[in-house]
Amino acid sequence: MRVGKSPLETSVLAYGCWRIAGAATPGALTADQWNAGKAAVLAAYEAGYTLFDHADIYAQGAAEIIFGRALREAPEMRDRVLIATKCGIRFSGDPTPEAPYRYDFSAEHILRSCEGSLKRLGVGTIDLYILHRPDFLCRPEEVAAAFEKLRGEGKARAFGVSNFTPSQVSLLQQACPFPLAVNQIECSLLHLDPLLDGTLDQCLQERITPQAWSPLGGGRLLAGKGASSDVERVRGVLEELARQRGVSPAALALAWLLRHPAGIMPIVGSTKPERIRECAKAAEIELSREEWYRLLEAAYGKRLP
């Protein structure tokens, strides 16, 4: 599929690298953590995922380091996959002890963060560079200038945002001389806000690809006993439809997102190779309107008005 209006082409599912380093940090990455992370990356690649999503803060950079090492061991991957990464979140204590956890879209931070990600990933270009969470002190023209600099230097090919409201997207887009390619949003059968708040409408209208993080509700759609009655209700319909189709509930839940006309790209975050392969089968499922609305009704917990 095409990513927004950019020239980037990728699989309909993305693989999220948030958990591939486990609880590691760059200076404490063990051989076991490296091997497990590499196995997850290769499982996703072999299952057909061609967009790998990162952020500079994932395991404080260790996730990018693991992926960079995997690329060095399997260099043929680089020409066959797209690398996305995010910037803009800064931890407390950076750079001084009294500094709070915050968001930073200053040009200085965007450019410095990109350089750090390029180094950890071991690549010369990031295919899709994304702002992580809205910075309330953002100056759109300053962000646009940083993006133009990175693109002009060949360090990033396309740009996007994450967790932006429609008005925040419009404000930044007005300052950017090229189209924003993605908006990463929380969206699943357990989080329906983007259907109602204008986010998916804007994506469809402007041809911005919505990338859904936590597309399985943080695993709650698949977990065992002890869930709330609302989650159990959705699970029940998922499991019934999955049995009828001979597919897994996870694949069906992802197919529900894929059915939306905005072209939602779910970001799969499991590190279990069998779950990674299972989720990839969502690309082969096309739900009927009746199936789609049965699941929506279960998610709402009542008949539509």
Residue 89 — very low, low, confident or very high, per pLDDT cuts 50/70/90? very high
pLDDT for res 223: 74
| Residue among 15, 45, 49, 58 flagged as catalytic | 58
Q: pLDDT (tens digit, 9 = 90+) per residue, 26-43?
A: 888 889 999 999 999 999
| Domain residue ranges of the chain, discontinuous segments joined by + | 14-224+263-270
- pLDDT at position 80 is 97
Distance CA 281, CA 48 (A): 10
Cβ neighbours of 168 (radius 10 Å):
18
| Residue 58: active-site member | yes
- 199-206 helix and 166-175 helix, angle to the nearest 10 degrees: 30
- Give the pLDDT score at 127: 98
- Nearest partner of 218 among 7, 16, 14, judged by Cα: 16
Mean pLDDT of the chain: 96
Q: Which residues pair with 265 in a beta bridge?
A: 211
The pLDDT of residue 22 is: 87
Threshold 0.75, pTM exceeds: yes
pLDDT for residue 225: 63
CATH classification for the domain delimited by 14-224+263-270, as one of 3.20.20.100, 3.30.450.90, 3.90.1530.10, 3.10.20.30: 3.20.20.100
Convert the pLDDT of each residue in 257-279 to its tens digit. 999 999 999 999 999 999 999 99
What pLDDT digit, counting tens, does each position of 98-155 carry? 999 999 999 999 999 999 999 999 999 999 999 999 999 999 999 999 999 999 999 9
Mean local confidence (pLDDT), 88-105: 96
* Strand partners of residue 267: 14
Checking if the pLDDT of 295 tops 80, the result is yes
| pLDDT tens per residue, range 162-177 | 999 999 999 999 999 9
pLDDT digits (tens, 9 = 90+) for 188-219: 999 999 999 999 999 999 999 999 999 999 99
